Structure 1
Amino acid sequence: MDLIKTLLPPGAQVVSLTTDDGVKLAGYYIKANYTEADGSGADGSGASGTKRLTIIIHGLGRSFLSMADRWNAVYPHLGSVLFLDLRGHGRSSRRALITFGDNEALDVKAAVDRFRDEYNTIVLWGHSMGAAASLKYTGGGGKPDGLILEAMYHSFDDAIDTRANIWRAPKTTVVPLVKFLFRHVMRIDFEGLCMPRILEKINGVPTLLVQSREDEKVPMASFEKLKAALGDKGRSVVFDQGDHDSIFRTNREEYIKLAGEFIGSIGN
């Protein structure tokens, strides 16, 4: 808890969540002070009665620690914040298999379900696998009020191929074996992790796609397919600098302004 006190503002607390498939999750909750009956107040939520929660979700091999420096992009002026440790990461259950966004959609659902009665506006801000999980949750019938999808892969199949190229893995032996194991042993839903297909299907959810030209794990060609699938249903922003894991840190000032304007426009 000492680390949480160091990284997050006073009053931050650990919360426990349970998914529909029984996985225990940890979250880190920073609650805004809604001082007036209509929901407006010092937190800047606006006089419309908006009570807003932004759920921030990390990528593969990370935890809330990799996203903790984002809290002041939202809190307190845009409402409350929940950082979520996905299954197999951080303080969440390490016994659950990591499925690269597939079953992690249930983690996102658990977080939204936990707080939906308290907040009338919930925005999901996901990085990489966290973005994929957020979008899969939405495509499966979830109802967030907004999405920020950062450095998200085009499809799980494409993500494997891209990383295989980076690691110079043999394309005729290792890559097919890895895909076989993921598909038939771990039962990962490759078709369900085709992000353009989901983007084309969802309607009525404000969406912001964020990408960097220097992201070697999500090439611009893959991002352009996501952008085309989103069409005029949302906005796409490309930064010139920042690798896959440093888009926010590299472009901090501009990104905070971008995210703040987007989140602030939802629910008002």
Structure 2
Amino acid sequence: MFDGYCRQIMQPKRVMYNKSDLECGYPRQDFQLEGLQCSVYKCNKYTQSCILYLHGYNGSRLEGVQYAPYVCKVDFDFCSFDFQAAGQSEGEFVTFGLKEEENVALVMKYLKEKYFHIILWGRSMGASTALMYAQKNRNIKCLVLDSPFLVLEDVVLNLIKLKLHTPEIINKGLYELIRRCIVKLFQFQINKVQLPLNLNITCPMLLLASKQDNLIPQYHFDTIFKGYLGNKKIIALQSNHNEQRSTEIIKTIIAFTQSMTPQSRFSPTKYPERLLGDLDEQKYIATGIKIKQKIMRNQSISTHNKNSAKIQKDKALMQLSNLK
């Protein structure tokens, strides 16, 4: 029975979905990298920037579909993938960021051949994984971290507390039993999953944190924010750990990435190696027109003047100025 509980921790139930569930109204290219199932949503053929979304524990790339239209609308491409042992990717068990960091490195290598600017946006385990990757790599334009944890031990202790409502001294004893059981079953040390107090990361960072988070203690967010070396901003959420993010919060995240990333497009003749050459041009154009007609049906078409890009950027900067 105890072994079964440990297996549930290390092998959470996979999210089941069909490829049609990944549609969002923009052209999508699915691809595979060493057993990882990935998708990229294209806003146009020549954008320089891409947001790579990292899902949380017990999640999948389906988690990012709700964000893709917001991202593509402002001239970013959007990429998401299933971590190992999640969704439709291969893998036997999760490692809460240790091996997932290697998954990110693999996808980043693929994306760096196609984009100049890449933003990492992670949630929960995905946010902690983004920090682990950024500790060792300097090829990220900026980070968006939604509810990252600092030490996995605290998260497991909180899970025990939520499930059993037992005193702290009993919880610590149960944690030690779980740790030993996981070592026996998976040869994996959960106590090794922790981030340093001082994060050697210099790219800009936006942190989303909530005092109402029942899974991750507040000091995790405070410590991450204090120990972060680069420019940083924080959004104080008023929600629980797994609650859906509001449209307002999503737009604030997009505004942050816009303000940090140049949006001038490059010439396809000057940088041919940056194109997604595996997308057939005529098929891409036809698909784009078809999708655009579907989206714009029953909607009024407004004419944008030449200053629309500047106005959009100014709005983004105004939103960021209100962050506390």
Q: TM (normalized to structure 1)?
A: 0.81
Is the Cα–Cα contact under 8 Å of residues 215 and 244 in structure 1 kept in the other structure? yes
- Among 57, 62, 65, which residue is 1:65 paired with? 62
Q: Please give the alpha-carbon distance, in whole angstroms, between the structure 1 residues aligned to 2:63 and 2:30.
A: 16
Q: Please give the alpha-carbon distance, in whole angstroms, between the structure 2 residues aligned to 1:17 and 1:28.
A: 11
Q: Please, which moves more after superposition, 137-146 or 24-33?
A: 137-146
Q: Please give the alpha-carbon distance, in whole angstroms, between the structure 2 residues aligned to 1:233 and 1:142.
A: 15
- Among 203, 217, 220, which residue is 1:219 paired with? 217
Q: Please give the alpha-carbon distance, in whole angstroms, between the structure 1 residues aligned to 2:26 and 2:172.
A: 53
What is the total number of aligned residue pairs between the two structures?
Answer: 239
What's the counterpart of residue 134 of structure 2? Answer: 138
Residue 173 in 1 paired to residue 170 in 2?
Answer: no
Q: Which amino acid aligns with 1:171?
A: N
Distance change >3 Å, CA 181–CA 105, structure 1 → 2: farther
Q: Secondary structure at the match of 2:121?
A: strand
Is the Cα–Cα contact under 8 Å of residues 52 and 78 in structure 2 kept in the other structure? yes
Q: Please give the alpha-carbon distance, in whole angstroms, between the structure 2 residues aligned to 1:244 and 1:52.
A: 29
Offset, 1:86: 0.6
Q: Secondary structure at the match of 2:79?
A: strand
Q: Please, which moves more after superposition, 141-150 or 80-89?
A: 141-150
Gaps of 5+ in 1: 19-23, 40-50
What's the counterpart of residue 188 of structure 2? Answer: 187
Offset, 1:262: 1.2
Q: Deviations over 1:36-66 (max 9, x none)?
A: xxx5xxxxxxxxxxx1100111111111222
What's the counterpart of residue 20 of structure 2? Answer: 2
Q: Which amino acid aligns with 1:187?
A: F
What's the counterpart of residue 232 of structure 2? Answer: 234
What's the counterpart of residue 33 of structure 1? Answer: 44
- Among 251, 256, 268, which residue is 1:257 paired with? 251
Which structure 2 residues correspond to residues 94-113 of structure 1 after superposition, within 5 A? 95-113=91-109
Residue 163 in 1 paired to residue 180 in 2?
Answer: no
Offset, 1:183: 5.6
Higher helix share: 2
Q: TM (normalized to structure 2)?
A: 0.68
**Percent identity, aligned pairs only?**
20
Distance change >3 Å, CA 195–CA 78, structure 1 → 2: farther
Is the Cα–Cα contact under 8 Å of residues 126 and 150 in structure 1 kept in the other structure? yes
Residue 56 in 1 paired to residue 57 in 2?
Answer: no
Q: Deviations over 1:236-255 (max 9, x none)?
A: 21112x2211241xxx2221
Distance change >3 Å, CA 79–CA 176, structure 1 → 2: same
Q: Secondary structure at the match of 2:228?
A: helix
What's the counterpart of residue 21 of structure 1? Answer: none
Q: Please give the alpha-carbon distance, in whole angstroms, between the structure 2 residues aligned to 1:205 and 1:231.
A: 8
Q: Please give the alpha-carbon distance, in whole angstroms, between the structure 1 residues aligned to 2:255 and 2:205.
A: 13
Distance change >3 Å, CA 78–CA 162, structure 1 → 2: farther
Q: Please give the alpha-carbon distance, in whole angstroms, between the structure 1 residues aligned to 2:174 and 2:20.
A: 43
Q: Please give the alpha-carbon distance, in whole angstroms, between the structure 2 residues aligned to 1:72 and 1:126.
A: 17
Residue 13 in 1 paired to residue 9 in 2?
Answer: no
Q: Please give the alpha-carbon distance, in whole angstroms, between the structure 1 residues aligned to 2:115 and 2:260.
A: 13
Q: Please give the alpha-carbon distance, in whole angstroms, between the structure 2 residues aligned to 1:232 and 1:131.
A: 16
Gaps of 5+ in 2: 1-18, 263-324
What's the counterpart of residue 82 of structure 1? Answer: 79
Is the Cα–Cα contact under 8 Å of residues 28 and 83 in structure 1 kept in the other structure? yes
